[in-house]
């Protein structure tokens, strides 16, 4: 087992962002209290160039495969001041290229293919606290740029529509982990007291209680090699 480095960070939303988290009448609402660990892992890797066209991940989704080769993993990010904006209408334009097949037309009345629906987005200025496991991305960015880098800008949310600023946060002392991610790596959260679920947000968002950074890094280091 390798214990990865851990960088405590604070994330501040600079623009609205949303996920199709929870079904609501005629649309979906975002869970404002958390940013999922896997979403943040991909967002950080993308900002650091690990998902550039020359090293792009395969199109077929496989979270374990991806996370085993990415330089970083992230904790769950927990909101300090969770806030949602009022709902707004969105249109999914599937016929902009001249129409679509009947089976698609038949599906556009409901679900994620509905052409008119409502969303609720996380408000700008929402602050989250979490940690990055692996190499210090701020130090790596500084070395690559030749000057000190104090923050990173990442994109996350549906269609990468959300812009988030990451900064070091030495005062963040504890973070949550995702029991579902542990399961992807062959761990059994049901028999591991370290992964007891404290918050069941969604099927793939099952979060532990807050853990000291050193303990969280040790647990994540038992999942994969850094």
Rounded CA gap, 120 and 149, in Å? 33
What's the average model confidence in pLDDT over 100-120?
66
**Mean pLDDT of the region 28-54:** 89
Residue 23 reports pLDDT greater than 60: yes
Distances (CA, A) of 62 to 57, 68, 144: 10, 10, 30
Contact 138, 149 (CB under 8 A): yes
pTM over 0.85: yes
Chain centroid offset of residue 174 CA: 18
At residue 200, φ and ψ (nearest 5 deg) are -100, 95
Nearest alpha carbon to residue 10 among 52, 46, 40, 49: 40
Q: What is the pLDDT of residues 122-180, one digit of tens each?
A: 999 999 999 999 999 999 999 988 999 999 999 999 989 999 999 999 999 999 999 99
CA distance 109 to 61: 27
Q: What is the mean pLDDT of residues 73-78?
A: 98
Pairwise CA distance, residues 181 & 127, whole Å: 23
* CB half-sphere exposure, 71, CA atoms < 13 A: 15
Report how far Cα 63 is from the mean position of its chain's Cα atoms. Answer: 12
What local confidence, expressed as pLDDT, does residue 55 receive?
56
Burial class (CB in 10 A: 0-12, 13-18, 19+), 174: middle
Give 28's pLDDT tier (boundaries 50, 70, 90): confident
Q: Give CA–CA dist 100/91, Å, rounded.
A: 16
Which residue reads 């929402």 in tokens? Answer: 126
Three-state DSSP class for residue 108: coil
């Amino acid at each position: 087992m390798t214990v990865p480095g851990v960088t405590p960070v604070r994330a501040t939303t600079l623009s609205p962002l949303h996920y199709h988290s929870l079904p609501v009448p005629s649309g979906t609402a975002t869970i404002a209290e958390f940013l999922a660990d896997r979403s943040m892992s991909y967002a950080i890797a993308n900002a650091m160039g690990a998902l550039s066209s020359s090293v792009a991940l395969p199109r077929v989704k496989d979270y374990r495969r991806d996370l085993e080769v990415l330089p970083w993993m992230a904790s769950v990010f927990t909101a300090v001041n969770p806030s949602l904006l009022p709902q707004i209408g969105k249109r999914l334009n599937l016929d902009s290229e001249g129409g679509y097949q009947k089976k698609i037309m038949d599906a556009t009345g409901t679900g994620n293919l509905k052409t008119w629906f409502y969303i609720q987005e996380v408000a700008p200025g929402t602050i989250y606290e979490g940690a990055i496991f692996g190499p210090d991305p701020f130090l790596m960015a500084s070395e690559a740029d030749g000057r000190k880098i104090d923050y990173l800008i990442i994109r996350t949310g549906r269609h990468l529509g959300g812009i988030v600023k990451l900064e070091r946060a030495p005062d963040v002392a504890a973070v949550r982990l995702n029991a579902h991610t542990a399961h992807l790596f062959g761990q059994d959260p049901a028999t591991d007291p370290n992964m007891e679920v404290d918050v069941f947000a969604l099927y793939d968002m099952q979060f532990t209680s807050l853990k000291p950074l050193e303990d969280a890094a040790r647990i994540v280091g038992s999942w994969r090699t850094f």
